[in-house]
Amino acid sequence: MYSPLKFIPQIFLKNRLVQFTFFVTARCNARCPFCFYWRDRHSRREELDFDEIEKVARSAGSLLWLLFSGGEIFLRRDLAAIVDAFYRNTHPVIITLPTNGLAPDLVIPKTEEILARSPDSAVVVKVSLDGVGAEHDRIRNTPGSFDKAIETWEELRRLRRRHENLQTGINTVFLRQNQDAMDEIIDFVNGLPDCETHTISLVRGDPADGKGKAIDLEKYLRAVKRLETDLKGPRAKMYHFNLTRLKTAQDLVQRRLIYETVRQGRRQLPCYAGRIAAVMNEVGEVFPCEILDSSMGNVRQSGYDLMKVLRSRAAGSVRAKIDSSRCYCSHECYYVTNILFNPLTYGRLMRQFMSLPQPGRQPGTDPAA
Domain, as residue range, for 183: 17-355
Q: Is residue 32 part of a domain?
A: yes
In terms of DSSP H, where are the helices of 177-243? 182-190, 217-231
Task: Give the whole-angstrom CA distance, residue 133 versus residue 126.
Answer: 18
Calculate mean pLDDT across residues 360-364.
Answer: 44
Q: Is residue 368 part of a domain?
A: no
> What is this structure's pTM?
0.94
Which of 18-22, 144-148, 241-245 has the weakest average pLDDT? 241-245
Rg of the Cα atoms in the chain: 19
Sign of torsion over alpha carbons 206, 29, 72, 255: positive
Q: Is residue 233 part of a domain?
A: yes
Q: Is residue 4 part of a domain?
A: no
Q: Where does the pLDDT of residue 235 fall: very low under 50, low under 70, confident under 90, or very high at 90 and above?
A: low
Q: Is residue 181 part of a domain?
A: yes
Please tell me which of 8-12, 210-214, 290-294, 361-365 the model is most confident about, judged by mean pLDDT: 8-12
Closest to 66 measured CA to CA, from 42, 48, 92: 92
CATH number at residue 274: 3.20.20.70
> Cβ of 210: how many Cβ atoms within 10 Å?
10
The total domain count for the chain is: 1
**Residue 202 identity:** L
Q: Is residue 230 part of a domain?
A: yes
Q: Is residue 367 part of a domain?
A: no
What DSSP character marks residue 350?
Answer: H
3-state secondary structure of 27: coil
Q: Is residue 361 part of a domain?
A: no
**Residue 303 identity:** G
**235 to 68, 72, 241: CA distances (angstroms):** 29, 30, 18
Q: What pLDDT digit, counting tens, does each position of 288-328 carry?
A: 999 899 999 999 999 999 999 999 999 999 999 999 999 99
Whether the CB-CB separation of 226 and 182 falls below 8 Å is answered with: yes
